[in-house]
Structures are given as structure tokens and as C-alpha cells.
Copies of this chain bind each other. A is one copy, B any other.
């Protein structure tokens, strides 16, 4: 393997070489802050995924190291995230019940398959697949997931058993258990939620106004969840609240995970392949968006295809070390960046912090109430819910709004996988529908110039025997039949027409279907005595057409400009236009050369 290839697949070789003491200090400070933030998050998201909380910690150690070696973003912080945890619960819930070894085993296999898929997609450079998820679909999906996650945590706040993967199931289940609400759990849950909201909204401002330095104000704000965890754990331990029906985390196996390979059960693998693909793509999109945004702020670059490999490696080692699917998280990456993380080493330092916590803190977490973790989740995910985006999308584009609204509706009422698939399918269908009716305009010459404009919008002169049709879109299979229909329709309404000129300044591509439609039009028009011409064809499009028989069969000509076409086919009209205003317009050669 050449040096260059090695550097491409191991970005650590680039930044590692110039690693200095100053960089190390920045990275260490960032790592401390992210560690404080990540401990309660890891426990909480594991709970959301239906897994023992310690699995969240396992998923926050080796994956960070793997990303530090293979990832290209300098500030991305990987680990368990809310949306992927929800998707894990939904996927694994089909095969096993929460709390069983089969459930944990399936979550580990899910991470492993997802990791393999990501690496494979990276090696095959399939990063573009993420583009199939449009912004409105992602935004709608994340809003819906946030609502779904918050709802699913209500049971922990109320202290009732409940289950379900859709809004309907969740609330149905909660209502049927409303009589069993545990009052102490409810008090802890509500207090923690109110406290965390207050920390998020108000604490930093208050600390700053009290004269606390911004750096410390920031750390204290980030430590809010840690404080909530510590206080409620102490209370639960002091009063032995577990015996009063308050659900606590319970005994956590301490020590680091022992690496081992996941189950190779071909049935399970096949059934998890679909969900794993969706988790991979969603995780990748979430991660790469954050990474790109942060990199741009410092004029740095990320390599999307190498990011796939980085995230894939993270998921594989997550599985091998008993964790579940991970990806780059938005909030923690921003914190990492703001705290000054300069290289991926910050991630490796964070991993050490989490490892130490796993070794020494887990015995202290036995009495941690699940309601506290639920409060952490609710406060975190409600910030994902973005109703403003729905409003903005509605105002900007009805068809994007339709895709977004369907994604939200299907996710909430049918499930997360269905939501993503419906959103992607609908946005592709709507795109093809829009493309299938390209904008076309009959154009006439602006008197005294060589310019042509839409007859419906401008006072222009048109010819009786030459019909000029401008096409404002590339030609491909979805709209080629429409063009046939449009041209035949125009000809059938105008018995005097002798020439049709198709003006192509905005046609960037003509695929095989469109080529056949053009041949069809040429043939059909020739039978009815009309010749077919093209004008202002772009260079590369013309290059390809020239290799076909279409140009040889063309009953008309290909003109460099629409003005040339009119001068040749109906000089009188072109002339009238000139004589009206004596000023001779400059000859435009914009489309003349073999441009692009």
C-alpha cells in the first residue's frame, strides 16, 4: 500500500505527525467536558434502546478510539445518540423482549452489520446514497423521532410499565396503566425534568450575570445532567427508594467489556439487514452533516467516503466490545468543537475518561432512578423537535412540505423504519413528478434585439410559420414523453406551422429515452410536413448527439442561436423586428462554442 493510500484510509497519519503539546492541551480540556456530558447521556440512551445502561458506556469507549484513527472530522464526537437508539429499540424489539440476552445479542449484531455496511459503502464510495434523504425528510424524521422518544420516556417518569413503538401504542399503553402511577417516581421525574429545562434555558445566563467566567459557566451548565444524576441517586440510596417501587438502574457489572465476536446466526443477520441499512444511512447523514458544518467553520474538509469507513469501524468495535449502534452526535460534537478540540485525539481522551468512569463509577450508580435518565432524554430530544422548520418548508415548497409531513405522520403512527422509507420514496416520486412536467415556453423575438422571450410575459413578435419552443430543463426519461405530447399538441393546434425550433439553452443532458423521443418527434413531424430544428444546444450535449443517427435523420438544422434560426427560417419576421428599431443588437455568442 502506498504512503498516499495509507494516509487516505488512516487520516491519523496526517494529523498525528504534527501533534504538539498545545494541541494536546486543547484536546484534553475538550475531552474532560465531553466526558462529563457523555456519561449520563450514554446511560440514558442505552435505556432508550431498551438495553442495560452499562451498554451505553461500552459504546462510548472503543468506538471513539476507532473514529480517532479512521475519521476525518476533527471535532466529531461519536457514541450512542437518541435517534439511532430509538431505531435500535424498534429493530431489535421485533426479535426479542427487552431484558433478555437475545435482545442484547441482537443489538450487538445490529451494530456489527451496520458497521460492515458502512465500511463497505465507504470502500465502494457510496456516500452519495445519503443524498437520497432530502433535508425535509431528515428534519421531519428527527422531529417525529424526538416526539416519539419523549413520549416513550413518559412511562419512566410516571413509573408505569408500558411499551409500544408508535404514538398510538405508547399512549394507549400508558393510559391503560394510569392507575399504577408511582408517586415518588413521578416527583423525582418531574423535578429532574424541570431542573434540567431550567439548567438548559436559564442557568448559564444567571451564572454569567453573577460574574462566573464563561468557561466555567459553560462547564457547570453541561454538568447539569451529572448533578441531577448525583442528587437523585443519593436520595434514592439514602431512603432506599427502590423498596418503594421506584425503578432504579440496579447492579451494573463493573469492569471493562471483554471483547468478543457477535453471534453469527444467518437468519438473524438477514432479518436485521434492512434495519441495519436504515440505521447506517440515518446515522451517516446525521454525523456527516455535523462534521461538515464544523469543518467549514475552520476551512477544513471532511471526506464523506472516509467518514463512512470511520463510522463503520466505530460500529464494528462497538459490537465487538458489547456495545450497540453509534454515530456522531450533534450536541456533543458542538460542545467538543466549542471546548477547543483540535484533533480526533480529543475523542480518544474522552474514551479514556469513559473507561475510567466504567471502572470506578458503576457501583455508585446502582440506586440511580430510571426517571432521572428519562428526564435527561426528554430534555435532550425536545430540542430536536423543530416546528419552525415545518412552517418554513410549508412556506417555501408545498411538495417538500408534503414529503416532510408524510415522514412525520408515518414515523409517529406506523414506526421509524416505515417513516424513513415513506419519506424517501415520496420525495423521489415528487421529484420525478416535478421533472415530468418541465417548464416550457413559446418564445418570440424582442423587437430590435436578438433576444427571445416568453410570449405570455413579454411584448414579442412571433412568426406564422416558425414555432419556437424553449425548454427549461434537462431531458430524461421522466419528461421526454411530456415533450412529445407538448410538441404534437402545439402542432395539432396550428395548421400553418412549417418549422418547429426547440431552443435548448437550459438542457444540460439528454438521456437515451429523450433521444428516442426526439427521434420520434422528428419522425412524427416529418410525416405531417413540419421540419424539426434545434437551437442553442450546449457543447457537451451536442458532442453526444453528433455521435447518433438523430442528427443525420433530422429534417431541420441545429442553429447556434435562436436568432440564426429565425433569420434562416423566416427572414421577414426577423427583419421586421430589426426595422422597427434601428439599433443593431450585438450578436450573442453565449451558446456558440463547445462550452462547459
A511-B590 in contact (CB<8A): no
In the complex, A548 Cα to B392 Cα: how many Å? 8
In the complex, A299 Cα to B490 Cα: how many Å? 10
A481-B528 in contact (CB<8A): no
B130-A481 in contact (CB<8A): yes
Nearest chain-B residue to A471 (Cβ)? B508
A242 CB-CB contact with B under 8 Å? no
Chain B residues, CB < 8 A from A432: 131-132, 428
Chain B residues, CB < 8 A from A267: none
| Max chain B Cβ within 10 angstroms of own Cβ: one of A399, A511, A549, A586 | A511
B528-A297 in contact (CB<8A): yes
Nearest chain-B residue to A587 (Cβ)? B586
Q: Which segment of A37-45, A63-71, A435-443 sits at the interface? A: A435-443
Q: Which of B392, B436, B473 contacts A131 (CB 8 A)?
A: B436
Q: Which segment of A83-91, A187-195, A512-520 sits at the interface? A: A512-520
A553 CB-CB contact with B under 8 Å? no
Known: A396-B548, A595-B453. A513 touches B135 (CB 8 A): yes
In the complex, A442 Cα to B335 Cα: how many Å? 36
A79 CB-CB contact with B under 8 Å? no
B297-A134 in contact (CB<8A): no
A527 CB-CB contact with B under 8 Å? yes
Q: Which of B399, B439, B472, B488 contacts A292 (CB 8 A)?
A: B488
Q: Which of B299, B491, B517, B549 contacts A491 (CB 8 A)?
A: B299
In the complex, A478 Cα to B439 Cα: how many Å? 20
In the complex, A547 Cα to B398 Cα: how many Å? 14
In the complex, A135 Cα to B480 Cα: how many Å? 9
Shortest distance between the CB of A283 and any CB in chain B (Å): 16
Shortest distance between the CB of A73 and any CB in chain B (Å): 12
What is the size, in residues, of chain A's interface with B at 8 Å between Cβ atoms? 87
Chain B residues, CB < 8 A from A586: 585-586
In the complex, A301 Cα to B588 Cα: how many Å? 37
A484 CB-CB contact with B under 8 Å? yes
Nearest chain-B residue to A437 (Cβ)? B128
In the complex, A131 Cα to B397 Cα: how many Å? 23
A304 CB-CB contact with B under 8 Å? yes
In the complex, A506 Cα to B478 Cα: how many Å? 19
Chain B residues, CB < 8 A from A131: 432, 436, 477-482
In chain A, positions 524-538 with a C-beta closer than 8 Å to chain B are 524-525, 527-528
Known: A292-B484, A428-B428, A433-B128. A477 touches B134 (CB 8 A): yes
B590-A512 in contact (CB<8A): no
A511-B304 in contact (CB<8A): no
Shortest distance between the CB of A452 and any CB in chain B (Å): 10
Chain B residues, CB < 8 A from A173: none
A454-B301 in contact (CB<8A): no
Nearest chain-B residue to A527 (Cβ)? B297
B428-A528 in contact (CB<8A): no
In chain A, positions 428-482 with a C-beta closer than 8 Å to chain B are 428, 431-434, 436-437, 439, 441, 451, 453-454, 457, 472-474, 476-482
A509-B434 in contact (CB<8A): yes
Chain B residues, CB < 8 A from A568: none
Chain B residues, CB < 8 A from A515: 396
Chain B residues, CB < 8 A from A298: 527-528
Shortest distance between the CB of A122 and any CB in chain B (Å): 15
Shortest distance between the CB of A288 and any CB in chain B (Å): 8
A400 CB-CB contact with B under 8 Å? yes
A395 CB-CB contact with B under 8 Å? yes
Q: Which of B134, B293, B436, B472 contacts A128 (CB 8 A)?
A: B436
A98 CB-CB contact with B under 8 Å? no
A492 CB-CB contact with B under 8 Å? yes
Chain B residues, CB < 8 A from A136: 512-513
A211 CB-CB contact with B under 8 Å? no
A596 CB-CB contact with B under 8 Å? yes
A296 CB-CB contact with B under 8 Å? yes
Chain B residues, CB < 8 A from A400: 511-513
Question: Could you give 17 example pairs across A and B, Cβ below 8 Å?
Answer: A132-B477, A134-B476, A134-B512, A296-B484, A296-B520, A296-B524, A296-B527, A297-B527, A439-B508, A439-B596, A451-B589, A454-B596, A457-B595, A472-B508, A473-B508, A585-B586, A586-B586
Chain B residues, CB < 8 A from A451: 589-590
Q: Which of B137, B472, B520 contacts A293 (CB 8 A)?
A: B520
Chain B residues, CB < 8 A from A472: 508, 596
B437-A395 in contact (CB<8A): no
